[in-house]
Each structure stands twice: as C-alpha cells, then as structure tokens.
Structure 1
C-alpha cells in the first residue's frame, strides 16, 4: 500500500486526537527526572516512555502520533518489543525529532538558529526504515528589546523550509514548528506584541515553504498560541488568547494545511487545554486545531509515577486523564467541571 503524505498528515490531526511530544533530549529528560529524584539512565528513560506508550486508553483513543527522540526510536520495551512497534500497535504513528537544537545565531545577540540540516537526508532515510512516518523541527523566536530581527526570522524560516522539503522527499510528513517564546529572560511582552511577531513569522515561514516546493497538504503546523509573555504584568483572558490566536492563524495559514497542532510552550496542562477548547468552540475553521503537547500531557503522569514500578498504574491514569481532556478540547467540548471530577 502506498503511504501518501496527505493521508498521514490528515491522520495526525484526526478529530479528537493529538500528538504526544515525547522527544525530550537527554538533557531535558534529566531535568524532568531530577524533579522526582530519579537518575536519568537509559533504562529509566525507557521505562518511563514505555509506561506512557502502554496506556491503552490514551494511545488508542486520544493520541494520533508520538514524537520520539533518536534513542527512543531505537529502544525496545522490557519484553523486547520495539517501542515504535508499541506505538504502531495502538493505532498511533511514530515520529522523530530531527533537529540538533537551537544554537546562538552569529552576529545576532540574544537570538538562536536551529541546526541539523547537514546529513539530514541520510538520517531521514534511516528513520523511515526504523518506522518513523513524520518528523519535527523546532525553530525558536525570542521577543525582546529590538528582537526578533529580520535575520533571525528569515534564517529560521528558510531552515524550516529546507527541512520540510527533505522530509517530503523521504516520504515523511514534516511538523513545521516556529515557536515564538512566551518565556525566557525578556518575556515581558503583551499579547498584542506576540500577535504581531507570530503573524510576521508565519507569513515568512509559508513564503519559504512555497519557495521550497513543499506540499502544504502534507505538513502539520506546530505554532505557539498568541499569548502574553510569562513576565508581562497584564495577562490576557483565555477568551482573548483563543480569539487572537484564531485571528492570527486565519490571516496567515493557507487552508491547504490539514491541521495545526499547538505546542503548550510553558503553559500549565489545564491552561493549554482550556485555550485549545475555546478556539475550537469558535468554529468555522479551515483546518483541524489540536494539540502536540509535551509537558502539558506528561507533567502529572511523571509526578504520579515518581520512578517507581508500583506507581505505573497511577502514572497511566494521570496520562490518560490529560489525554482525554485534550481530546475533548480538540472537539471544543472541554469543561472545567471535567477536571474537578477526575
């Protein structure tokens, strides 16, 4: 059977389903494990992710795909089953983080450029053979005094487009992730400043995707929500976040894109869920709006598990609950009282 990029992308944003971002780098997962007093060993990382992937209620009903780190795509579960096969058997699609991280952008203080294009064609071919059918590349845009610069916006958009073209050449759906940060050292900007920067960044990204001949029907966009910086004294209401995010996306994202899977970007699990549900309640959208959350799906599960085998069931219950809440949000049907009933 031929696997069409358009079919994979559409499956990734299926109604009531979203993407689990489990692609934390070794350094990031260590910080997560430090919070529960657990040493970050290869087996501990395997056990934690296996707990998530074996949560049948969540994986079968609410999760369309899982973004993996290189190590995880190659790992096997405790019983010898490849973790990618665990994901596939639940009906979800395995994916892979392919960028090499954000590094300082030369001659542009305070800004970053994502690296990882060198050798990407060869890595994508290997990842395809290992079972990955979509990939992720994150570009980081910082708002600050005089930031972002045109140089940073343009360089990151161009890199995203080159990555996306290489993915499609390899029969892999690219998740295109330009993240305008809501946190960081200078995150005092208000929601209107975030709107302006996000609007500009998305326009540049789609210009570059067009120039690179990327098929928009075979991508998934993973943007930030339009939201005030974490250190802003005036935080916008949830309704304002939803309205301005939808307005920005309608002005910049072509209707050919099958779906938009938001990053949570420093929001709490419940905040990210509430905002997503309010957006879907607005309705009349040309693309699916869903989630591609990491911390917002995992934080409660990590704390409930605590690195102890006797707590696996508790960790799975916490993960299944957050996945279900976000599934409802992707349908515009989430309510506060559902959290309280948990």
Structure 2
C-alpha cells in the first residue's frame, strides 16, 4: 500500500457522503451537457446563468438532511455565491461534502467499433492536487459501457475501462481524495434486463479485480453503478420489484462488503421511477453497504422545469429540489410511497 494514503480520512469521508438517509447530488454537467439542459427551458448557457442556477441548487432549504455530497464541474468548483462564499465552502458549512468530476469524457475506443474509453488520466495527479486545494474531498470518473444484444461490450472494452477506473481511483486515494468509481452500462438500446444483468456482472467483476490489483482501499471508495434494467427500446420493460431484485442480486455477488456505499446513477430514468427503484432496493435489505443514490437529472429535471431561468421562480425551483431530495432520503429507508409525489 502507498505510504501517503490516510485510510482513516478516506473511510470517514466515504461514510459521511452515504450517511443514513443521505445520497449525492450530481451537479457536474459539462459545459455541452448543461447547455442541452438549458436549451430545454430556453435559457442561454452563460457562465452567469450557470452560476445562478447552481447557487439555487446549493442554497435550497434542508437539502443537507438528505444530501451528503455534491459533485461539481471544474467551473463550478471555482465559482462563488453572490455573497462571495466559494461554492465548496458554502457546501461544507452545510455539512455537505464537495466533490469534483475529473474525467475528460468518453471517446471512441480505437479499433473497437461501438465502444468507448474515458480520457483524462494524463496530468490527473496535478489536477487532483489543485482540486484538493480548492476544497474537493472526493472525485468522480465515469466509464461508459455500451451494450447490445450480443457483441458489445467486448471483453477488452470492459477491461480497458476497468483499468482506467482503477488508475484514477489509486491516484485519488494517494492524495486522500475519495474516488467514486462509475462504470455505467448504458440504458440505450433494445437489450432485455437479463442481458443487462450479464453485462453488469462482467463489468463489476472486472472493475473490482483491477481496483484490487491497484491496491485501492475498498473502505475508502464509493461505487456508482447503473441499475440492472432493460434497454429503453426493449419491448418488455421490467417492473420496479424485478429491477430491484436483479440489481441487488448482481451487487451482492460482485461488490465487496468492505465498500461503504453504492450510489446508483439514474441514467435517464424519470425522477419518480429512480426514487421508486431506490426504495424497492432498500425495502429488500439490509445489505453490507449503504444503498444510496447519485442522481443528476432525476433530482434536477423538476428544478429546471420550475426555474425556467426566471429569478422570481428561484423559490419554486428550490422547493422542487428539496422535495426530490426528501423523497430520495425516504427511499434510502424503503419508506417512500408513490402517494407522496402528490403532497406539497
């Protein structure tokens, strides 16, 4: 093991992010992605508008009750609230751990048609040092695993992404930064839930083998996987209970008990569906790790719809976020019910 690593710090930060009832707000959309989100509500993606929107998110009432960590984008980590408080400081003061997305995006994997590899390892150690100085205590790297009915992903495509995730995680832990390891098997496509379970199993097995080979401390990391779910174009969509059952079977088999928490991504599910799935998974527990969430769109879609770029809608937008955070916090205990969606 690397001598510099402080296993105590890593473990306590990881546990704080997934403390009982808490999960992660993913607010790390890259500039092109946030532009798409803003386009959907006819708002121009200027730095000022992005700052204003993120301030609305980070100052919403009571979110610290169900949000343990927020993933920021490079630009956002450097921004401040209107009163001059840097965003990482603002979050820390609320008891929310600030984190940073560090990958440079998924690009085509050379000579492997239809597969992707995430870039960003070059110079990562230096970037992590700077991010740590700016207040980030955890990081995130997303590997994108395409899936079809038969040939994709290839064993090599899985291995290449698992290797990059492990190199990233080791660099983080060397600097006492908690890595969130995100191998996302995409929801796009017409594959069924059984195919998703097979591929997710292969991916998790490869990822943990690589993490182990790189001496990554399981107690000082978090896993951000996809749920085991049918492709969006599949004619047979599995019910909430079936998704929960398949997902938990897969996690129990492949995720070491030493990992403090699994923070599921929503991957394009609706806000309500993502909460229902999280609730169903927790209802079948207990598990050796915290079963939590790291949602972007599933927390923010209702916020954007309420905000519309209008300053006088800020309170309504914050109310929408507080509600989604609260409902996902309840889902962490299997205590969420569909009827709660109708409540104020």
TM-score by length of structure 1 reads 0.98
Q: 1:159 aligns with which of 144, 164, 187?
A: 164
Q: 1:27 aligns with which of 29, 32, 40?
A: 32
Superposed CA deviations along residues 163-222 of structure 1, whole A, max 9, x for unmatched, are: 000000011000000000002xxx100000000000010000000000000000000000
Is 1:37 equivalent to 2:39 in the alignment?
A: no
Q: Where in structure 2 are there 5+ consecutive unaligned residues? A: 1-5
CA distance in structure 2 between the aligned counterparts of 1:227 and 1:99, rounded to whole angstroms: 25
Superposed CA deviations along residues 129-180 of structure 1, whole A, max 9, x for unmatched, are: 0000000000000112410001110000000000000000011000000000
Offset, 1:341: 1.7
Q: 1:2 to 1:103 in 2, by over 3 A?
A: closer
2:7/2:217 contact within 8 Å kept: no
Partner of 1:140: 144
CA distance in structure 2 between the aligned counterparts of 1:284 and 1:89, rounded to whole angstroms: 31
Superposed CA deviations along residues 110-141 of structure 1, whole A, max 9, x for unmatched, are: 11000000000000000000000000000000
Partner of 2:76: 72
CA distance in structure 2 between the aligned counterparts of 1:193 and 1:228, rounded to whole angstroms: 8
Superposed CA deviations along residues 282-311 of structure 1, whole A, max 9, x for unmatched, are: 013110000000000000011101111100
Partner of 1:326: 328
Partner of 1:237: 239
SS at match of 2:286: coil
Offset, 1:69: 0.2
Is 1:15 equivalent to 2:17 in the alignment?
A: no
CA distance in structure 2 between the aligned counterparts of 1:265 and 1:2, rounded to whole angstroms: 31
1:102/1:114 contact within 8 Å kept: yes
CA distance in structure 2 between the aligned counterparts of 1:8 and 1:198, rounded to whole angstroms: 27
Q: 2:293 aligns with which of 279, 291, 294?
A: 291
Is 1:176 equivalent to 2:181 in the alignment?
A: yes
CA distance in structure 2 between the aligned counterparts of 1:283 and 1:324, rounded to whole angstroms: 20
2:180/2:223 contact within 8 Å kept: yes
How many residue pairs were aligned?
A: 338
CA distance in structure 1 between the aligned counterparts of 2:73 and 2:31, rounded to whole angstroms: 9
Offset, 1:2: 10
CA distance in structure 1 between the aligned counterparts of 2:217 and 2:11, rounded to whole angstroms: 9
1:56/1:90 contact within 8 Å kept: no
Is 1:81 equivalent to 2:81 in the alignment?
A: no
Aligned pairs for 1:1-342 (under 5 A) are 4-58=9-63, 60-144=64-148, 145-183=150-188, 187-342=189-344
Offset, 1:56: 2.7
SS at match of 1:270: helix
CA distance in structure 2 between the aligned counterparts of 1:176 and 1:331, rounded to whole angstroms: 23
Question: What do you get for the CA RMSD once the two structures are aligned?
Answer: 1.1
Moved over 2 A (4+): none
2:145/2:153 contact within 8 Å kept: yes
Superposed CA deviations along residues 39-92 of structure 1, whole A, max 9, x for unmatched, are: 00001000000001001311x211100000000000111121111111111110
CA distance in structure 1 between the aligned counterparts of 2:141 and 2:321, rounded to whole angstroms: 25
